[in-house]
Amino acid sequence: MYQLVRKYLFKQDAEEIHEKTVHALKQAQDSPWGKRTLKAMYHFQDERLQTKLWGHVFPNPVGLAAGFDKNAEVYHALAALGFGFIEVGTITPQGQPGNPKPRLFRLPAHEAVINRMGFNNQGSFLVAKNLVDYAYADVPIGINIGKNKATPNEEAASDYSKCMDLLYSYGHYFVINISSPNTPNLRDLQETQSLRALIRAVREKARELEMRGIKQKPILLKVAPDMADEQMRDVVHAAVEEGIAGIIATNTTLSREAVQDHPYAEEAGGLSGRPLTGRSTAWVKEIYQEVGDKVPIIGVGGIFTGEDAYEKIRAGASLVQVYTGMIYQGPGIAKQINKKLLQLMARDGFSHISQAIGADASK
């Protein structure tokens, strides 16, 4: 049914459809029957898929990546769609409009999306108000934070610390986002010394807040797929040494190799979707081989099917995230993936999803 609806949706502007979708989810979330209806249609639960990390229970390993619910407005409705966790944001200290429109482009022939949104969000103070009932969500809620566009990299640590100040009371885990290609020079913060300084500042702010009585939260790092092998190894080792609790691999790519025949190939921004599948899985495997015995990995990039998710789990991911896949597969994607995971586990003789983690990544 969604494939028929998609033909109609894809005739309209991509960002307008996104805004309409968020509005519809708000209405469902706020109605006495809306959330129950979504849950009845899309919820799927099986103890064999339950994952425990950082002191939290994830009902299943399939989450929704940051970028969809930028202002933490509809995470309750999204949880009803069957996701095992929801990551909101990216959130910056001050609200900002993001980059000029148009800034979101579908490439259906490649099952891909190019975006250059630029961290458009309402800012930490307003988003915090939307997160006050995060603890009542049915699944863990992650908070993805970034710096404002106007903030120079030399002052980036201050921006991330401001986000922590306002948001640390909420959410189950935090993500330092320095890998988006749509904020000028942001990826420069992946340089090892800059990265170490930033993580130290964020963790120092976290400790300060914990001394005030706020519960400790795991802090993760989201990395880009466009680094050279040596740089990626340096980044993940530095992050682990500085106390990062997990790695999210990967963000969108600047490469256009797989879509160079498309009219949108010259559009600036990060490419996501099917062209990123192999690259992100390869990074998950390499990161797992480097630090998988020290920190969990969340695999993201080009996940459309249960097979895609399972491949990332066998490569070393403890959890996975989708986003572009939902645009192409529809709101039932989490349920479809989780059902397929059970089939694939049975085929391979696994009684629990945890047994599949890293099965293809020899240490």
For residue 171, pLDDT over 90 is answered with yes
Does residue 90 register a pLDDT over 60? Answer: yes
Q: Report the pLDDT value the prediction gives residue 189, as an integer from 0 to 100.
A: 92
The percentage of the chain sitting over the pLDDT mark of 70, rounded to a whole number, equals 100
Q: What is the pTM of this model?
A: 0.96
- Where are the chain's structural domains? 2-356
Cα(176)–Cα(194) distance, rounded to whole angstroms? 13
Please state, in angstroms and rounded to a whole number, the distance separating the CA atoms of residues 66 and 48.
Answer: 26
By three-state DSSP, how is residue 63 classified? strand
Position 1 pLDDT exceeds 80:
no
Does pLDDT of 363 surpass 60? no
The answer to whether the beta carbons of residues 320 and 299 sit under 8 Å apart is: yes
Q: How confident is the model at residue 2 (pLDDT cuts 50, 70, 90)?
A: confident
Stretch 304-333: mean pLDDT, rounded? 97
Q: Which residues are catalytic?
A: 180
Q: What pLDDT, on a 0 to 100 scale, did the predictor assign at position 203? A: 97
To the nearest 10°, report the CA torsion of 25, 30, 33, 37. 20
Whole-angstrom Cα distance, residue 249 to residue 46? Answer: 26
- Dihedral angle at the C-alpha atoms of 150, 153, 158, 163, nearest 10 degrees? 60
pLDDT tens digit string along 227-250?
A: 999 999 999 999 999 999 999 999
| Mean pLDDT, range 96-104, rounded to an integer | 96
- Percent above pLDDT 90 for the chain: 94
pLDDT at 362 over 80: no
Does the structural domain 2-356 have CATH classification 3.20.20.70? yes
Task: DSSP letter for 292, please.
Answer: T
What lies within 8 Å, CB to CB, of 189 at 6+ separation is 153, 156, 178, 195, 198
Q: What is the pLDDT of residue 184?
A: 87
Q: Average pLDDT in the 217-231 region?
A: 94
Q: How does the average pLDDT of the chain come out, rounded? A: 95
Alpha-carbon span 272 to 63, nearest angstrom: 16
